[in-house]
Each structure stands twice: as C-alpha cells, then as structure tokens.
Structure 1
Amino acid sequence: MSISAEATKQGFWRRLVPPTPMSRRLATQSILFSTGEGAFNTGSAVFLTQVVGMSASKVGLALTIVNVAEFLMAYPAGRLVDRLGPKRVWAATTWGRAACFAALPFVGSFGEYVAVGMFFALFGSAGHSSYQAYVVDVLPPKERVETQAYLYSSLNLGFTLGAIIGGVALATDSLEVIRWSPLFAAVLMGFNGFWIARLPAAPHDLRVASGEARVRPTGPGPLRNPGWILVTFCLGVLWTNQTLLNVVIPLWLVEATDAPHVLLAWLFGTNTVLCIFLPAYTSKGVKDLRDAMRYVWISTAFFVVSCLITLVTHSTVGLVTVLLVWLGHVTVTGAELFISGASWSFQAELMDPKRRGEYQGVADVSRAMGSMWAPALFTFLAMQWGEEGWLVIAAIVTAATVLTGPSLGLAVRFRDQHFPVSPEPETQPAAP
C-alpha cells in the first residue's frame, strides 16, 4: 500500500472518532443509552407477549397509549427543563428510565405495563428535551452540527450492539432469560445517569444555579413563534423517510415485488452501516441556515428518487428487482442523512438560548404532528394506489420542503426581533 493510500485510510478512521474531549464524552453517553435501549427493543415483542402475556392487539394498544402520553407531556417537560436545568433533568430522567427497566421483570399484566409505560413516557419526554437542550447549550456554535453528527453515529452503533446482545438473549430460547433481560438495560441506564452527572454544567445550568433561571424570560415563547412551529412541522414531514425505511418499503417488498424476504435484513443492515459511518461526512457542509435549507432540498431529492425507484419494482423481476429495492433503500437513507444535518442547524440557530427546553418541547409536538399520520397514509397510498400512490408520497414531501423556505424566514425574523443572536463562548466549559 502506498504512503498516500495509507494516510487516506488513517484519515478515514480518524474521522470516525469525535475530535474534542467533550464530543467524545457525549458520544460515550450516546453509546451507553442506545446499547441498553437496543438490547431491550430487540426482544420487546417476545417479552410483552410471552412474558407479560399480552395479545398482539393489547401490545399495540399499550404502546399507542404510551406514545400519546409522551406526546402530551412533551411541552410541559420542556418547561421543566428550563426551570431546573438541562443536565440535572437529563441525569434524573436517565436514572428514572433505569428504574423503569428494573421494574419490567415484575410486570405481569396489561394494566401494570401501562402504569410503568406512563413513567417511561414522562422520563422519555423530559429526557429528550433535556438532552437536546444540553447538547446545543454546552457546545461552542461552530461545533454543534458536527458533534451532533458524531452523536447520531454513536446512537446507531449502540443500537447495533444492543441488537446483537438482544439477539443473544433471544437465541437462548429461555423465557427466564427474556424476563430478566431488562436488567441489562437498567444497569447501563444507571451507569449512563452517573456519566451524565459527571458532565460539565452548561450555561443554562449555571443560570439555574445562580437563580437567574427562576425568573421567567421576557418576551413571547415558542408557542407564539409561528416560524418555529411551521419549520419543525415540516421537519416532521421530511422525517417520514423513517416510515419509508421501516414500514412502507418492507411491506412493498413483501406484497408487491418478487424480491426474496431475506433481502429485508440486508436493507436494514445497509441503513445501519451508512448511518454509523457517514454522518460525520455528510454534516460537514452545514455552516449556516442557508446551507441547512440546501440540505433540506438535497434530502427531498433523495426521498423523491427513492419513491421513483421503488415504484418501478412492481413490474421488474429477479435480480433487477433486488438491486432496485436495495437502491431505493439506500437513497432514502440519503434523505435521512441530509435532513439530519439540516435539523441540527435549525435547532442550534432558531431556539431562544434561555428557553431551549421549552422550544424543544414545542418542536417534539409539532414534529410529531408532521409525521404521526405517515404510517397509515403512506402504507395506504403505496399498497392501494400503487405507482400513483408513490408519486403522491413524493409530492407530499416536496410540498413540505417548499413550505420550509418561507417558514424559515418567519422563524429568523422572530429570532432577530425577540432574541437576537449574541456572541457565545467559543470554548467548552471546564470539566467538574
């Protein structure tokens, strides 16, 4: 191997490691979290049906109840984050999730699972808002998008490790192993909470400690910021690429093509690998909101191309079908990677620094409203309308992208009027 080729190879692997001490600490946290979650999620269907003893319909109902509860709790949870400080809430909710996982082996009915699920919903809402608020708050502006890309890679790596561990538990074919497997997630979550507690305080945490955050910030909040609500709603529509990845394309493969079902494993494997190795590269082009809007259009282009490629596979046969379905999955992964970079930029640039928890709570609600309908509608369009349905799906996403432009303008004008961007420190806070 030549010296230049060796240097290129070393440079590639170096790019996979977060470049700063703070980003490496946050990446470690992401791996701990997603490994625990991934290990439980892999065997959750078996756990809920064979250990808890719920029917498939009751499992669906229970998960729906928990998801609705998490949706309803998102905004008040965001307010709580601003009141108490992101790091404190993040650590507390992580320990709360550890307690929930520890309680699961003792759950034996639908009602008991829903009761535990309510706590999962509370800790999930507050944990997500506090995590997002902390990451944006603690990092220098120039590092925010790049670090979020590394965290996204770390999450996918952790979910992969968790899936392997969960698969080992399932391979034992023992209900006792499955019953007690949530304790693995509980241990990782408990250690994760300790890891978070050792992170440095973010600026908003310092404002809470000084008493400044006890005074409600002046000026209108995110509920009176139509640009932010519309931008995050549009992002929710654009993030329906996950519906294509996880629901519509797999169903299309099984019901409308002659592709072998084993191809599904390769599709999900390809997506996971790309989302581990590529975010650090695809996010490099996002420096400001103009770049972020350009990424929105690139993401939409990938989304539309995926729809066009996939609709053709209804009429193809053999190896051509396999290659086209795989390519459709790869292109929709491209949509995921580019909308990620845009989302992180919008998050960093458009939220009031004194209300980041509240802004994140509103974003969680509006993004959910932009995407919660997609599994039912997209599945109906693809499976019932066929090729025409795929064109409608592409048109919906394109319309959301067109709306994102003026919505972004509204959000920027609101920001400039009510919380003008002020210089932020370019150095990270010192470790405790």
Structure 2
Amino acid sequence: MPTGPLRLLVVAQLVNTLGTGLWMVTSALYLTRFAGLTIAQTGAALTVAALVCLLASVPMGYLADRAGARGVLVAGLVAQAVGTAALVLVDSVWTYLLVAVPLAIADAAQRGAKGAVIAVAVPADRRVHTRAYLRSVTNVGIAAGSALAGVALAVDTRPAFMALILADALTYLIAAALLSRLAPVPRTAKRPEGPRLIALRDRPFLAFVALDGLLSTHFGVFEVALPLWIAHRTDAPHWLIAVVFLTNTTVVVLLQVRAARGTDHPTGAARAARRAGLALFAACALYALSGHAHHTVTITLLVVGALTHVVGELWHSASGWGISFGLAPPDAQGQFQGAYAIGMQFGQMLAPLVVTTLALGWGGPGWLLLGATFALAGAAMPPVVAWALRNRTFHPEPVAA
C-alpha cells in the first residue's frame, strides 16, 4: 500500500469511484423512469452538462492555482456531494439542469485542482506513476460500484435508486474528508502582466490538446462501436462483449503503472503517444477483419483486437499525463490540467457519433479510417511536443535516473 500523500489520494479515489460506478450503471434508468425525463431529454441534458464542464475546465483550473488547489479540490467534492444528493428531487428536465449544471462546474473544479495537487504534492518523477496508480484504482472502484448497483437494478424501485444516489453523495463527502488531510497547496501569485488564462493562448499546448482529443475517441470505439459491431456485424456470441470489457478492466488495473514507465518527461511521453496510435490502428484493423471472419476466427480476432486496443489505451493515458504535467508552468498547473481535460472531454463527446458512423456505417473501410486517424495523431505528437518545448520559458523538471 502506498504511503504519504499517495495513500490519501488512492483511498479517496477508491471511495469516490465506488460512487461513480453506482451512478454510471443506474443514471440513465433513474432519469428516464423516475425523474420524468424522456430518452431524448436525457441525452440532450447530459450533453449540456458535458459542455458546461468542458467550458469551465480552464477557469476552474485557474481558480485552483490562485485560491489553493487543495481547498478547491475539497470544495468541489463537497459541492458534488450536495448536488448529487439533490438528484433525488429531480422531476423534470428543467430541475435536472438546475442540478446538473452546477454539478458540472464542481466537477471541472475538482478535476483541475486534483491535477494541481498531484503536481505539488508528488515529486516530478512520480507524477505520472501517481496518475497511473490512480487510474488502476479507478477501474477497481467503478467495477465494485457497478456490481453493487446491480442490487438496485434487481429491486427496481424508486427508493432503491434513491438510496444509491445518496450513497454516491456520501462517497464525495468521504473523499473530501480524506483529501482535506493533505498538506495545503500554496496559492500562486497573480502574474503582473499579460493574460490570466495563459493555457488558452499556448498554441503548442493547444495543438497537443487537440491531438489528445482525437486519440481519446478510442474510448468511444471500445464503449460504443465495438459492442454494436460484435452484436450486429459479426457472428460472435453476444457474451463476448462482456469478455472484452472484463479483459480491458483487468489489463488496466494490472498494467497501467507499468505502461507509464518512461513517460515522466514530455519527450518520452510523446513517443508513448506515437506507440499508442500504432496500437490503436492495429486494433481497428483487427476489428475490421472480424467482420469478414467466422466463428472461432471471429472471436480470436476480436479478443486480440481488444488486447491490442487496451495496450494503446495504456500508452495514450500515460502520454497525456506526462505531456500535460511537463509542459505546464509551475505556477499554472491547475489551468493547464483543466485545458488538458478539454481534449479528452471533447473527444469523448464526439466519439459516439463519429465512431458509430464510421465503424457501423462504413464497415471495414470506416475501421481503417479510424485507425489511420489514431496513427497520424500519435505520429504528430513528438513534433508538436518538440515545438512546445522550444516555446517554454522554463525547463520541465528533470526526471530522476
């Protein structure tokens, strides 16, 4: 078990993501069956909340830098606890938006603040390791929460769903209490001149964010396109969907920390992004081939494709952490972490439409086009990071040998 600040971060992450798993599994059913929203309203409202979170990411990161990252992180978690508990009062799309919009802002605040806390509380050569460890823990927490959510699904009553919502709210409060024990993060001084939101004017960094957003659409490939592809465009049994999801979760838990080795400096992280793009291209090619295979060959191609995909996912995640930490000025980690989050959020927002259109609509050629996009985005990362490093007014902290 890790010690010091990492222990607090890990335990808080485990508790909080346990609640995330509870809500992820039950949210759509609760909103459409018990909160008065139609399916169309649910989709639209979730999109609005995602946009608000995206737009608030950099300003909330700036707030974390100026007000103290630990305080903003704890306040954001407490606000999420209050907002989550208020979900039991939702009875229409409008009351849901009244809750969901502030929740999205609080989520943006705690995300940017968490990155800034890690940047200060953890030595430079352990930041990516910490992120990797937390991602492994995240998968454990979400899996456990998802399993517990099955109780509410089995009981299938409004009180059962409300109990899970309140349990989710409690996890935010527990996480906030744990993280309040971290040492305070000093506030950064206001820059004497120039713009405040410097991350939005840093063109090399924004180019990295855009490329990372393109690579992030692979999450939509795995979560949306691949299950539909297996069910409707191959002769593989439907239970294979559960197998590939379980495989993905298990590999992330076991290997994310190992995959993050060598990505503490932006240069090494950029090389990992290039490898990620190639692995994702190979996965897409295997998925494409599975649509023309039969029986055992189909299953083999899909399983090998899923394993290749998760390797690309591990490298992609580690590369983003290493680059975003390394390129951020020491006094602006919060807003640069917020800007980094924009790419992933935007990529995941676009992913369902893009990946289903290409993979399900175009079939094999669509899969190959998706794969080529991943490969090109990964290949572009090293020159973009080199451009960014040439434009730094500081040098990323050296990595311990």
- TM tier, smaller: over 0.9
Match of 1:27 in 2: 10
If you compute each CA radius of gyration, which structure gives the higher value, 1 or 2?
Answer: 1
Quote how far apart the aligned CAs of 1:422 are. 6.1
Quote how far apart the aligned CAs of 1:98 are. 0.5
Match of 1:41 in 2: 24
Q: Describe how 1:323-362 pairs up with structure 2 within 5 A.
A: 323-362=300-339
Match of 2:69 in 1: 86
Match of 2:200 in 1: 223
- 5+ long unaligned stretches in structure 1: 1-16, 427-432
Match of 2:394 in 1: 419
Match of 1:167 in 2: 150
Match of 2:135 in 1: 152
Quote how far apart the aligned CAs of 1:382 are. 1.2
Q: How far apart, CA to CA, are the structure 1 residues paired with 2:58 and 2:128?
A: 24
Counterpart residue type for residue 257 of structure 2: A
Match of 2:276 in 1: 299
CA contact (8 A) 1:259 1:321 kept: yes
Distance 1:284 1:63, change over 3 A: same
Match of 1:119 in 2: 102
CA contact (8 A) 2:124 2:264 kept: no
Quote how far apart the aligned CAs of 1:367 are. 4.1
Q: How far apart, CA to CA, are the structure 2 residues paired with 1:267 and 1:297?
A: 24
Match of 1:9 in 2: none
Quote how far apart the aligned CAs of 1:59 are. 0.8
Match of 1:249 in 2: 226
Q: 2:251 aligns with which of 274, 294, 299?
A: 274
Q: How far apart, CA to CA, are the structure 2 residues paired with 1:76 and 1:177?
A: 37
Match of 1:383 in 2: 360
Deviations 1:286-305 (A, max 9, x none): 34333212211221121011
Q: Aligned residues, how many? A: 398
Q: Does 1:137 align with 2:120?
A: yes
Q: 1:182 aligns with which of 165, 189, 214?
A: 165
Counterpart residue type for residue 88 of structure 1: G
CA contact (8 A) 2:277 2:379 kept: no
Counterpart residue type for residue 255 of structure 1: H
Counterpart residue type for residue 392 of structure 1: L
Quote how far apart the aligned CAs of 1:218 are. 5.1
Counterpart residue type for residue 247 of structure 1: V
Counterpart residue type for residue 381 of structure 2: T
Q: How far apart, CA to CA, are the structure 2 residues paired with 1:36 and 1:136?
A: 25
Distance 1:172 1:410, change over 3 A: same
87-96 or 49-58, which moves further after superposition? 49-58
CA contact (8 A) 2:221 2:351 kept: no
Q: How far apart, CA to CA, are the structure 1 residues paired with 2:153 and 2:344?
A: 34
Match of 2:381 in 1: 404
Counterpart residue type for residue 419 of structure 1: F
Quote how far apart the aligned CAs of 1:219 are. 5.9
Q: 1:288 aligns with which of 265, 273, 281?
A: 265
Quote how far apart the aligned CAs of 1:375 are. 2.3
Quote how far apart the aligned CAs of 1:420 are. 3.6
Q: Does 1:321 align with 2:304?
A: no
Q: Does 1:308 align with 2:285?
A: yes
Quote how far apart the aligned CAs of 1:216 are. 2.4
- Secondary structure at the counterpart of residue 397 of structure 1: helix
Q: How far apart, CA to CA, are the structure 2 residues paired with 1:249 and 1:325?
A: 9
- Secondary structure at the counterpart of residue 12 of structure 2: helix
Q: How far apart, CA to CA, are the structure 2 residues paired with 1:167 and 1:286?
A: 38
147-156 or 373-382, which moves further after superposition? 373-382
CA contact (8 A) 1:233 1:368 kept: no
CA contact (8 A) 1:149 1:341 kept: yes
- Secondary structure at the counterpart of residue 372 of structure 1: helix
Distance 1:354 1:217, change over 3 A: farther
Q: Structure 1 vs Structure 2: percent identity of aligned residues?
A: 30
Q: How far apart, CA to CA, are the structure 1 residues paired with 2:236 and 2:247?
A: 16
CA contact (8 A) 2:135 2:253 kept: yes
Q: How far apart, CA to CA, are the structure 2 residues paired with 1:422 and 1:26?
A: 22
Give the CA RMSD over aligned residues. Answer: 1.8
TM-score for both structures, normalised by structure 2: 0.94
Q: How far apart, CA to CA, are the structure 2 residues paired with 1:95 and 1:380?
A: 39
Q: How far apart, CA to CA, are the structure 2 residues paired with 1:392 and 1:125?
A: 32
Q: How far apart, CA to CA, are the structure 2 residues paired with 1:368 and 1:233?
A: 11
- Secondary structure at the counterpart of residue 246 of structure 1: helix
Q: How far apart, CA to CA, are the structure 2 residues paired with 1:274 and 1:173?
A: 32
Q: How far apart, CA to CA, are the structure 2 residues paired with 1:40 and 1:347?
A: 29
Q: 1:54 aligns with which of 34, 37, 44?
A: 37
CA contact (8 A) 2:267 2:382 kept: no
Q: How far apart, CA to CA, are the structure 1 residues paired with 2:341 and 2:133?
A: 21
TM-score for both structures, normalised by structure 1: 0.88
- 5+ long unaligned stretches in structure 2: none
Match of 1:14 in 2: none
173-182 or 142-151, which moves further after superposition? 173-182
Q: How far apart, CA to CA, are the structure 1 residues paired with 2:67 and 2:285?
A: 48
Match of 1:200 in 2: 183
Q: How far apart, CA to CA, are the structure 1 residues paired with 2:397 and 2:252?
A: 33
